[in-house]
Amino acid sequence: MTHCNDQLIDQLLTQAEQEGRCLIPPSTAIRKALLRRTSGTVISPMPGLFARKTRWDELNRAQRHCEILRALAIIHPDWTFCSFSAACLLGLEVSWRHLNVVHVCSSTKPSARPGAHIQRRQIEPAGAIRKAGISVTPPIQTATDCLLQTGFADGMPIADSAISKLGLAPEQLMEAVEQRATARNGRAIRTALTTLRYADARAESGGESVTRAVMIETGFAPDWLQYELTDPFDSAKPIRTDFAWERQARELTLGELDGLIKYTDQTMLAGRTTAEALVAERQREAHLSLYGHPLLRFTMNEVRSAGMLAKKLQTAGIRQTALPTWLNEVDL
């Protein structure tokens, strides 16, 4: 590879990064040169698309998905993205397990070959909108499509963020779900309606939404979300915890969802280093400890592990209510 090609590839990668998308090789020669780099400095997340490995490693799954979509929208300007891909572009919280393929509207039968990168869904993009120049299904349709394709736990981040980020009312979404009812999708309709009944705009992340849903499913629904205390060293500064339970009168257990993302995501770090973020979190926890409330921390791995979160909450002395029987018993 010539020095000229090296410079050109670096320039193309930089331009793609500035535009928040993957690089589309402008020629066969450049594509071959990029493929030679994939054993080192370049990654190819999808055939024909490339990105600088160091930057790609800094992005979370949702950010990577959007960068792929922005590149595909240039290659296929006639495509309308739908389902979880449209939700991602609209800024909804999507469980990362649903972002392994790109979801595109299709007027023909849906396709989902094993190992395929593109999944064509038989969805009519009625009233498709443009989001930063990309065609996507409209917000209500997008949220409804996703809710009808997920269970309670993975549907909760969609429902929570549709309310908080897009300003959609639960009643709007429930009506849209009910309009999709057929003789064959009764269970999906019931699950979607139940999810919307428990939706809460106060959730600050998709992980919190999934965690709350699992808590509800296992009978450990929190008494408060975003429970607020005053920093004992600064009366003007509030300290919030993700969850709180009342064990006895005036006795609380506080809950926090731990995740590496807040120590690695550049947006959440807001200019701080990972070490600075860790020190700030330790200081915050030390301030919380002065209230004397037990603080229970848990990870997404524990949330996703069958029974692990419930066991941890039970061990912490949180009272379990009757297990819910409502999930598939919603009246239509």
**Residue 38 in 3-state DSSP?**
coil
Specify whether the CB–CB gap between 298 and 211 falls below 8 A. yes
Distances (CA, A) of 326 to 187, 196, 217, 329: 12, 13, 10, 5
Question: What pLDDT sits at residue 249?
Answer: 67
> What value does the mean pLDDT take over residues 285-298?
91
Q: What percent of the chain has pLDDT over 90?
A: 72
Amino acid 1: pLDDT: 46
pLDDT of residue 274: 72
Separation between Cα atoms, residue 70 and residue 123, nearest integer Å = 20
Residue 315 has pLDDT above 90, yes or no: yes
Helices (H), 20-116: 28-37, 53-56, 61-75, 83-89
d(CA 55, CA 60): 11
Q: Is 155 exposed, middle or buried (0-12, 13-18, 19+ CB in 10 A)?
A: buried
Average pLDDT, the chain: 89
Whether the predicted pLDDT of 156 surpasses 50: yes
What does the pLDDT read at residue 56? Answer: 96
DSSP 65: H
pLDDT attached to residue 215? 96
Average pLDDT over residues 73-93: 96
In the chain, % helix, strand, coil (3-state, to 5) comes to 45, 20, 35
At 111-149, the pLDDT tens digits run 656 558 999 888 777 789 999 999 999 999 999 999 999
Residues 277-289 pLDDT 10s: 778 788 888 989 8
pLDDT at residue 5, rounded to an integer: 76
**pLDDT tens track for 210-231:** 999 999 999 999 999 999 999 9
pLDDT (average), residues 258-271: 62
Q: What is the pLDDT of residue 266?
A: 58
Residue 127 is predicted with a pLDDT of: 86
pLDDT digits (tens, 9 = 90+) for 165-197: 999 999 999 999 999 999 889 999 999 999 999
Write down the pLDDT at residue 268.
Answer: 56
More reliable by pLDDT, 250 or 313: 313
pLDDT at 3 over 60: no
Q: How high is the pLDDT of residue 324? A: 77
Burial zone of 117 (CB within 10 Å; 0-12 exposed, 13-18 middle, 19+ buried)? middle
pLDDT of residue 270: 62
Residue 276 has pLDDT above 80, yes or no: no
Q: How many whole angstroms separate alpha carbon 134 and alpha carbon 73?
A: 6
Per-residue confidence (pLDDT) for residue 282, from 0 to 100 = 86
Burial of 91 (0-12, 13-18, 19+ CB in 10 A): middle
DSSP conformational letter for 190: H
Q: What is the DSSP letter of 248?
A: E
User: What is residue 51's predicted lDDT score, i.e. its pLDDT?
Assistant: 98
Distances 92 to 69, 76, 143 between C-alpha atoms, Å: 15, 23, 8
Query: At residue 26, does pLDDT exceed 90?
Result: yes
Per-residue pLDDT at 321? 84
* pLDDT reported for residue 306: 76
- pLDDT of 24 reads 97
